[in-house]
């Protein structure tokens, strides 16, 4: 795997600056994306416009499986677009941020349809490799389901804000750069077909770190896969497949628990538009990431996280976030 050129950090910083500048300018470019209330209407009901739904769908789809944190990007985007403002609308936005992941889930089913079909064959006793991968994913999901459920509410109260997200972006970026410099991403390792249940469990245990917004579920599971002995390609694929069951469970739980509040606040149509946009953009993002890693490596995501983390800290200092 070739290493990234010396200009990559500068190019990545420029991308981060451009993306942040675009997000900061969105309210001026699209006032219909802002929340609003009608005169005489119930002040607790706030609109999610088509523009806002599309923007959130793009942000979710592009960032869900990249190691940059979709939760962090969505929370900052909500802040920039001035979405929310009441307890009911804030709760609906939190639920939407989880339910919109369904678009990204469908994207992985499309991109990795052969592996998913193999796992189904494994469930039916027709593929030993598919059965092994499926069991490994279930084993990895168990510690996530238990630990994340226990600590999520406490983490949500303390860490769902712009400053913790910016810190997580920086820490994750520095971690990627450090591991890259040590050659971890270029090391030979096991293929996914040879993953052990111990490796799977350790990856799932590490996935619980992603409850800190800004950390990135993809980042911690890919790094965990590398550290326990998988090669980069296998670690990325396992991260995406583990995301299928993890994100499906989170989406189903949020939908069953708070879906009625989401529909009451925003209706059906605009949230569904956002979900479709998330699906299309996630397919493109996953395919791009796999191709990028095959040709160039993982370091670019570290520089991106550092760039956007610094920009976020600057925006916080200036009172923009």
Q: Is 178 exposed, middle or buried (0-12, 13-18, 19+ CB in 10 A)?
A: exposed
Q: What is the pLDDT of residue 248?
A: 92
Average pLDDT, stretch 7-22?
42
pLDDT tens-digit map of 204-262: 999 999 988 899 999 999 999 999 999 999 999 999 999 999 999 989 988 888 888 89
pLDDT band for position 37 (50/70/90)?
A: very low
Instruction: Please provide the average confidence, as pLDDT, over all residues in the chain.
Output: 85
pLDDT of residue 296: 83
Identify the residue with better confidence: 271 or 20.
271
Q: Which residues of 46-83 are buried (b: 16+ CB within 10 A; e: fewer)?
A: bbbbebbbbbbbbbbbbbbbbbbbbbbbbbbbbbbbeb
Band of residue 304 on the pLDDT scale cut at 50, 70, 90: very high
CA-to-CA dists, residue 4 to 1, 41, 68, 301, 311, angstroms? 10, 55, 18, 11, 23
Task: State how far the alpha carbon of 37 is from the alpha carbons of 50, 84, 90, 223, in Å.
Answer: 15, 11, 15, 45
**Residue 2: per-residue pLDDT:** 35
Q: pLDDT value at position 16?
A: 45
Q: Are 222 and 175 in contact (CB under 8 A)?
A: no
At 4, is the pLDDT very low, low, confident or very high (cuts 50, 70, 90)?
very low
Q: Report pLDDT digits (tens) over 180-201.
A: 999 999 988 999 999 999 999 9
The pLDDT value given to residue 258: 87
Decide if pLDDT at 59 tops 90.
yes
Q: Stretch 66-84: mean pLDDT, rounded?
A: 90
Q: What is the pLDDT of residue 17?
A: 42
Residue 49 has, within 13 A of its CA and on its CB side, a CA count of 16
Residues 99/44, Cβ–Cβ less than 8 Å: no
Q: Which residue has the tokens 């993890």?
A: 246
SS3 45: coil
Quick one: pLDDT at residue 46?
64
Q: What is the pTM of this model?
A: 0.83
Please report the DSSP string for 139-186 in residue order.
HHHHHHHHHHHHHHHHHHHHH-SHHHHHHHHHHHHHHHHHHHHTTGGG
How does residue 173 score in pLDDT terms, banded at 50, 70 and 90? Answer: very high
* Displacement of CA 216 from its chain's centroid (Å): 6
pLDDT number for residue 153: 77
Over pLDDT 70: what percentage of the chain?
A: 86
């Amino acid at each position: 795997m070739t290493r990234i050129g010396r200009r990559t950090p500068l190019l990545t910083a420029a991308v981060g600056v451009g993306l942040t500048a675009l997000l900061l300018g969105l309210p001026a470019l699209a006032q219909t994306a802002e929340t609003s209330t009608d005169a005489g209407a119930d002040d607790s009901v706030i609109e999610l416009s088509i523009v806002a739904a599309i923007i959130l769908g793009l942000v979710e789809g592009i960032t869900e499986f990249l190691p940059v944190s979709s939760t962090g990007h969505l929370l900052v985007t909500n802040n920039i677009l001035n979405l929310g403002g009441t307890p009911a609308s804030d709760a609906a936005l939190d639920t939407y941020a989880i339910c919109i992941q369904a678009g990204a889930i469908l994207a992985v089913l499309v991109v990795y349809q052969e592996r998913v079909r193999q796992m189904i064959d494994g469930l039916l006793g027709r593929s030993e490799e598919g059965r092994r991968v499926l069991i490994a994913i279930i084993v990895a999901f168990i510690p996530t389901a238990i630990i994340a459920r226990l600590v999520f509410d406490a983490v949500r109260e303390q860490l769902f804000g712009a400053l913790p997200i910016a810190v997580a972006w920086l820490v994750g970026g520095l971690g990627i750069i450090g591991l890259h410099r040590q050659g971890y991403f270029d090391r030979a390792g096991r293929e996914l077909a040879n993953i052990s249940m111990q490796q799977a469990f350790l990856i799932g245990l590490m996935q619980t770190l992603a409850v800190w917004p800004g950390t990135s579920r993809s980042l911690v599971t890919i790094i965990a896969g590398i550290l326990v002995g998988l090669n980069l390609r296998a670690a990325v694929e396992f991260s995406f497949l583990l995301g299928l069951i993890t994100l499906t469970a989170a989406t189903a739980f949020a939908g069953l628990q708070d879906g009625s509040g989401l529909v009451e606040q925003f209706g059906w149509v605009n949230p569904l538009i956002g979900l479709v946009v998330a699906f299309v953009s996630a397919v493109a993002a996953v395919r791009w990431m796999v191709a990028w890693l095959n040709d160039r490596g993982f370091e670019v995501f570290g520089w991106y996280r550092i760039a956007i983390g610094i920009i976020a800290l600057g925006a916080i200092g200036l009172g923009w976030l």
